């Protein structure tokens, strides 16, 4: 086995001798690397279909989608793993805790918007970042307000589904 490995070091046709990591856009001055992970078609497809990078949607819709996802998924750990998990008010406590965290995250977005953030840069995974969504303080503040609305909406939907699970199961089961 060791002889086969030693013999393969001198064969350019051996796939183990191919380079797989290159400078991004073949420019070493960028300080970024193109790897099999961040340059693969699957990762490019996945990242470019996230709401933050999807082309053709308005900045407000981007924020609503991101907020809805965060509000919906943050509700579960607060309701089912929180200190009131074994009480009748566990879902309500989870809803209030989720809304509180969404408000804190929105305040963080607003603070970031007021810090004069840099423009989005093109990368190997996202060669065309959305310019309209994150180009000024006002656009970041609009993003934050839509994120708040979406986050509270997502939390309310999760609360409604969890609180009425018996009724929903009765309709479909």
Dist CA 159 CA 80 (whole Å): 11
State residue 33 phi and psi, 5-degree precision. Answer: -120, 145
**Structural domains in the chain, sorted by start:** 8-172 (1.20.1240.10)
Helix (H) or strand (E) holding 22: strand 22-23
Taking 80 as the threshold, does the pLDDT of residue 2 lie above it?
A: no
Reported as a single tens digit per residue, the pLDDT across 113-147 is 899 888 888 888 888 888 777 788 888 889 999 99
What pLDDT score does 55 carry? 86
Distance CA 12, CA 18 (A): 8
Q: What is the pTM of this model?
A: 0.81
Summarised one tens digit per residue, pLDDT across range 61-100 is 999 999 999 999 999 999 999 999 989 999 999 999 999 9
Q: Output the pLDDT for position 25.
A: 78
Q: Counting beta carbons within 10 angstroms of the beta carbon of residue 104, is it exposed (0 to 12), middle (13 to 18) or buried (19 or more)?
A: exposed
| CA–CA distances in Å: residue 138 to residues 49, 112, 143 | 24, 11, 8
Evaluate if residue 39 carries a pLDDT over 80: yes
Residue 92 CB contacts under 8 Å (≥ 6 apart), including other chains: 159
33 confidence band (pLDDT: 50, 70, 90): confident
- Please report the pLDDT score of residue 9 as a whole number: 66
Question: What per-residue confidence (pLDDT) applies to 7?
Answer: 63
- For residue 144, the model assigns a pLDDT of 94
Percent over 70 (pLDDT), the chain: 90
Is residue 163 pLDDT above 70, yes or no? yes
Q: CA 49 to CA 153: how far, in whole Å?
A: 22
């Amino acid at each position: 086995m060791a002889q086969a490995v030693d013999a393969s070091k001198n064969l350019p046709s051996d796939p183990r001798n191919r380079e797989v990591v290159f400078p991004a856009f073949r420019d070493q001055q960028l300080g970024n690397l193109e790897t099999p992970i961040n340059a693969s078609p699957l990762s490019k497809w996945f990242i470019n279909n996230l709401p933050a990078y999807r082309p053709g949607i308005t900045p407000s819709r981007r924020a609503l989608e991101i907020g809805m996802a965060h509000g919906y998924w943050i509700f579960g750990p607060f309701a089912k793993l929180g200190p009131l998990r074994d009480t009748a008010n566990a879902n309500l406590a989870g809803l209030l805790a989720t809304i509180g965290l969404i408000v804190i995250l929105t305040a963080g977005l607003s603070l970031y918007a007021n810090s004069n953030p840099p423009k989005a840069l093109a990368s190997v995974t996202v060669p065309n970042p959305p310019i309209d969504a994150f180009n000024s303080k006002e656009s970041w503040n609009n993003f934050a307000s839509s994120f708040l609305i979406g986050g509270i909406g997502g939390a309310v939907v999760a609360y409604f589904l969890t609180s009425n699970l018996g009724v929903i199961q009765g309709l479909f089961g």
